[in-house]
Structure 1
Amino acid sequence: MTTVLLNMHNAGWFELGSMILAMGIFYGGVAQIIAGIMEWKKGNTFGTTAFTSYGLFWLTLVALILLPNTTWAAGTKTSDPGLIAYFFMWGLFTFYMFIGTLKLNRALQVVFFTLTILFWLLAIRDYTGSATIATITGYEGIFCGFTAIYAACAQVLNEVYGRTVLPLGPVKRK
């Protein structure tokens, strides 16, 4: 949900405001870190790495936006080259996580592939300053977020009902 909402802003639908920042801190950040800890307790390295990393991504993103507005961190705004590097590195991390999904299921493959594209589009947007790329990035991010919502919904409903309600596209093991 946080990805969809932020990218509605990126697509130009509304301004960045406290709703998105609050979602970034609590749902994108804290809730994913808790989910990562739960995955660690289950012995799921992929889930632990993904949830805790993206939870910390959201917390750092909100900090990058808010810290320059504080008294003690005034004047510390991240430079454009810094943000370009930030988004590029998150894209690189996400790409290797995408490689990990090749052994999991098609739904996660779509999520991580589109998230890789999203991070690299964000870097390109900040590099070029193009309003057109910013809008394209927003729509790609909305799509990415909805693929994650679908994957989460499928995992929950399939587990609750003990059968495939929404397919995840299992990968055939050789």
Structure 2
Amino acid sequence: MGQETVTIVDKTANPAPLGLLGFGMTTVLLNVHNAGLIPLTSMILAMGFAYGGIAQILACAMEYKKGNTFATLAFGSYGLFWWSLVFLLMVPQITILKTTGTPVQTADPASLAAYLFMWGLFTLLMFIATLRLSRGLQVIFISLAVLFFLLTIGELTGSKLITMIAGYEGIFTGASAIYVGLGEVINEVYGRDIIPV
């Protein structure tokens, strides 16, 4: 009896564009607020919970099935970042919690700075892994690390100027993710590299 070779071809879709666009579009909207162009409204929080959070968590699960550890960690972590940020902003506003006699405090600047700094550190370390990946991912991760550190400084100093600068830098970060995500879709649809990523 002879041996038989079986080749398995992965025919599942590329989940990276979903995760990149969920991250990118939500990041642009939040940073349009940080830049001082629009107020923080339920639109941004809903986008953060749904597209920033759920879409990236779905992309995380799909990347896990593909065996992509980097993308699993990145999309899962940043999806849960968006959920934690929405909860951080919303929990103190929940009326039922206010009536229990122990009001939930809004995060103070030092707490927010610690939160943002840890995300910046995580992102900077993830950037090291992108040095073996595409230039597009390198731009996204290094600009995101800079964004987190600028926001940390803004919280610690109370400087509206630094937060505004962070907002414009964050718009660039989100736009970079949108570019890479749509570039992957366009390149796949056309079967060749049209958009350099």
Q: TM-score range by the shorter chain?
A: over 0.9
Find out whether 1:72 has 2:101 as its counterpart: no
Structure 2: gaps spanning 5 or more residues: 1-24
- Paired position in structure 1 for 2:142: 113
The whole-number CA distance in structure 2 between the counterparts of 1:37 and 1:161 is 26
Instruction: State the Cα distance separating 1:79 from its structure 2 match.
Output: 2.0
The match for 1:61 among 82, 85, 93 is 85
Instruction: State the Cα distance separating 1:61 from its structure 2 match.
Output: 0.2
The whole-number CA distance in structure 1 between the counterparts of 2:35 and 2:106 is 23
Which deviates more, 142-151 or 157-166? Answer: 157-166
RMSD value, Cα: 0.9
Q: Secondary structure in 1 aligned to 2:39?
A: coil
The code of the aligned residue for 1:104 comes to L
Q: Secondary structure in 1 aligned to 2:97?
A: coil
Q: Is the 8 A contact 2:31 2:171 kept in 1?
A: yes
Find out whether 1:136 has 2:160 as its counterpart: no
Instruction: State the Cα distance separating 1:10 from its structure 2 match.
Output: 0.4
Instruction: State the Cα distance separating 1:76 from its structure 2 match.
Output: 2.6
Instruction: State the Cα distance separating 1:18 from its structure 2 match.
Output: 0.8
**1:12-161 → structure 2 map (5 Å cutoff):** 12-70=36-94, 71-72=96-97, 74-161=103-190
Q: Secondary structure in 1 aligned to 2:33?
A: helix
The whole-number CA distance in structure 1 between the counterparts of 2:81 and 2:150 is 16
Percent identical pairs in the alignment equals 58
How many residues end up aligned between the 2 structures? 168
The code of the aligned residue for 1:57 comes to F
TM-score using structure 1 length = 0.94
- Paired position in structure 2 for 1:171: none
Runs of 4+ in 1 over 3 A off after TM superposition: none
Structure 1: gaps spanning 5 or more residues: 169-174
The whole-number CA distance in structure 2 between the counterparts of 1:88 and 1:10 is 17
